[in-house]
Amino acid sequence: MAGRILFIDDDKAGREVAFFNLRRAGYEITPAEDGQEGLSFFSPEKFDLVITDVKMPGISGIEVLRRIKKQAPEIPVLVITAFGNVETAVEAMKNGAYDFIGKPFQRDQLFLSVERALERRHLATEVRELRIRASGVEREIVGSSSAMKRLLEIADRVSRTDAGILITGESGTGKEVIARRIHVHSHKAEGPFVAVNCAAIPGELLESELFGHAKGAFTGAVKDRLGRFRQAQGGTLFLDEIGEIPLPLQAKLLRVLQEKVVDAVGGDAPISVDVRIVAATNKDLQSRIRAGSFREDLYYRLNVVEVHVPPLRERPEDVPALALHFVGELAEGRDLTVPPRVMEELMRRPWPGNVRELKNACERMVILCDGNEVSLEDLPAPSDRLRPEKTPLPGDGGDLPSLPPEGLSLVDLETKVIESALRLKNGNITKAAVFLRIPRHVLVYRLEKYGIRRGGSLLLQSDFSVSEAAPSLAEEE
């Protein structure tokens, strides 16, 4: 069974012999000369098995084992120990090692241990995938645009961590679908996925809905209620429209995130919970923080990593695949096609309601279709009228000009937009950043980078801190 193996051993001769034999047997081997180098190479996506010596300078093999099992408990680890060192072997097994191999080991012994470890890994992966499919949590994500590929790459990377995730994006972009993907790629994938739309539950009932209540806690509480946090025990709780949670309840939610306990309404004692929180919003939470309607400490607790879902108008190349998927899904056995003129119209529209609106349009065409192909006449009227009218920036002519055939300078264009936003907001950087929908420190960085003047004078270095002027690579991209 082929597999990708990380082999860590400070013994150069032994490492080279094992590398030669394993590669000759068809395995993909990455050698590392010590624990530090091995850990720098490791990631759950790159390897199916780790083999590590125990006694190495710097980081020991036992510490390598602990760190790998903490980061990726599903990856088997084989430990190489000196012959007859039973105590070390026992310690390794207690820390999660799949097996141990005594030095010096024979080639056949190494092959047998590797084959068994990889077979177990393969079977465990199959069982996990079957359980996930049986749970019905995952939803198919359709789209091959560069924006979607980048989004899924980020979502998959952060799903394997315990970091707080805030999914942002307009209504109808598919934030819950992304949340479900994060769940099924996380260490809690075999636990439940529980979704709560915070905007759909009245504020006075939301506390009981989230944290549960004891029998007799209030009128109508005829029995104990677990609440969504305890229903999601060992899994993921998805809090959609997190910006709609009332301010008093935000403090209680913050305590749950910090202390890992919930206080049921009318309960006698806190109850421990082990839940991954993924939140989502289509609102600008930073503006709500400034308005005093959302807690800043809760925002930073939820938003360790932000995953932004781009609107459909920014990825029109995904429209054909989505349309074909929806028509096929909704046709219920009918063999319907989408003619080119219909697809051209679908790609031309801005879809302010995003993927949800596109799906509704496809459903309408399928319902009204009499033949073998959907018709342009069965499409609903364009919803451009639902979009807010653009307000021209001061000094601008409204919409951006058409692109000249000789090309243009993106830097000059960005500079003009930033200058116009500053004029619109009377030189206020914070308000201009909100208007441009970028973090304040990113705007400050660009002001300095382009030498943009504010209020008639060049923005001085003293106007901002060094940390503000150094946005992350992800933000710059």
SS3 content of the chain, % helix, strand, coil (to 5): 50, 15, 40
pLDDT digit string, tens, across residues 84-106: 567 777 888 888 888 888 877 78
- pLDDT value at position 219? 75
Nearest C-alpha neighbor of 124 from the set 147, 98, 146:
98
Q: Which two tokens stand for residue 171?
A: 């209504």
312-386 to CATH, choices 1.10.8.60, 2.60.40.1840, 3.40.50.720, 3.40.50.2300: 1.10.8.60
Tell me the CA end-to-end span of the chain in Å, nearest whole number. Answer: 40
Q: Which residue has the higher pLDDT, 147 or 460?
A: 147
CATH class of the domain defined by 146-308: alpha beta
Instruction: Name the fold adopted by 4-132.
Output: Rossmann fold (3.40.50)
Task: Give the mean model confidence (pLDDT) for residues 426-453.
Answer: 83
Answer for the pair 132, 138: CB distance below 8 angstroms, yes or no: yes
For the entire predicted model, the pTM comes to 0.62
Tokens found for residue 10: 């400070």
The alpha carbon of residue 283 and the mean position of all alpha carbons in its chain are separated, in whole angstroms, by 18
More confident residue, 289 or 137: 289
- The string of pLDDT tens digits covering residues 42-81 is 988 889 999 999 888 889 999 999 999 888 888 999 998 8
Count of CA atoms in the C-beta half-sphere (13 A) of 354: 14
- Is residue 386 pLDDT above 80, yes or no? no
The helix/strand count (H/E) of the chain reads as: 19, 14
The model's pLDDT over 200-211, given as tens digits with 9 standing for 90+, comes to 988 878 988 999
Residue ranges per structural domain of the chain? 4-132, 146-308, 312-386, 410-476
Residue 297 and residue 54: Cα distance in Å, rounded? 43
146-308: same fold as 4-132? yes
Q: How confident is the model at residue 402 (pLDDT cuts 50, 70, 90)?
A: low
**Contact in structure between 77 and 69 (CB atoms under 8 Å):** yes
| Distance separating alpha carbons of residues 82 and 53, to the nearest angstrom | 9
pLDDT digits (tens, 9 = 90+) for 259-272: 999 988 888 888 99
Q: Among the listed ranges 84-88, 201-205, 278-282, 358-362, which one has the minimum average pLDDT value?
A: 84-88
Where residue 358 falls among pLDDT bands split at 50, 70, 90? very high
CATH number of 410-476: 1.10.10
DSSP 303-337: -SEEEE---GGG-GGGHHHHHHHHHHHHSTT---B
